[in-house]
Amino acid sequence: MGNNGSDGLIEFYASEALTCPRRIYFRLKGYPERWPENVKVRLNQGVRTHEVLGRILRDRFGFELERHLVLRSRKLGFEIHGRIDAFREFPIEIKGKTSLPKVPYEYHLAQLNVYLRWAEADYGYLYYVKLHEEPMKVIGRLDLSGFPVIKGPNFRAFEIPYDGRLFKETLRHFYSVKKAYERDRPPEGWRSYACRFCPYRYLCYPNGFEL
Ligand code: SF4
């Protein structure tokens, strides 16, 4: 996908909401991604987890998978593209993780919140699933009787209401990256644990990565 959407608007992704601004900048500028080996393994496991759980949501509960959306602001000069994992009247976002968080990550909330805004839905769900070589070993043990609040070992479901304040913050964040993009000056990066999973590590840590 190019960096400029319709009418020359800059394209962001919902999955970039409130993530490291420097990483988004590098993506917009077209720097090649170099994925660390450990991340590739997780990405593949994540894809399989999405496939298995997605099939259940589609076949058993009538959800549409990978629904594409665009939110456009000519005033701000950008658009946000997204692909909702599962959508019916409300969105469900699935996150495969090596360890499950006790509370949702702020940037996952911001991503789901973009979907809620687009769908004009009052609430949606975040599912955290523990990554496994064979996802059915986790997903086969889930209790679906209280759907959409699914329960089970190695699984966490959160019901999330729409948050107008968070949406404004997300727009501000994207706008500041847009400004940096136009000025050709990379913004400060997070330089945190997130760098472990970043394909642009080689740019921020040219002398090798240590955290
Ligand atoms: S390596 Fe870290 S600071 Fe640099 S772009 Fe990636 S996440 Fe941001």
Q: What is the pLDDT of residues 95-104, one digit of tens each?
A: 999 999 999 9
pLDDT beneath 50, residues of the chain: 1-2
pLDDT at 1: 39
Q: Which residue from 19, 20, 25 has its CB within 8 A of the most atoms of ligand 1, so it is best to mutate?
A: 20
What residue ranges do the domains of the chain occupy?
6-204
Closest among 107, 108, 114, 62 to 89, alpha carbons compared: 62
Q: Is 200 in the pocket of ligand 1 (CB under 6 A)?
A: yes
- Residue 4's pLDDT is what? 59
Query: What per-residue string of b and e applies to 161-173 under the rule 16 or more CB within 10 Å gives b?
Result: ebbeebbebbbeb
Model pTM score = 0.94
Atom of ligand 1 nearest to the CA of 23: 5
Is 189 touching ligand 1 by the criterion CB < 6 Å? Answer: yes
Residue having the nearest C-alpha atom to atom 5 of ligand 1 = 23
> Do 108 and 58 meet the contact criterion of CB atoms below 8 Å apart?
no
Hey, what CATH topology would domain 6-204 get?
Answer: Lambda Exonuclease; Chain A (3.90.320)
pLDDT tens digits along 1-21: 345 556 789 999 999 999 999
pLDDT at position 131 is 94
Specify the residue with its C-alpha closest to ligand 1, atom 8.
189
Fill in the DSSP letter of residue 44: H
What integer pLDDT is reported at residue 16 of this predicted model?
A: 98
Residue 161: CB partners within 8 Å, gap ≥ 6? 122, 123
Whole-Å CA distances, 102 to 11, 99, 135, 180, 192? 32, 10, 21, 34, 20
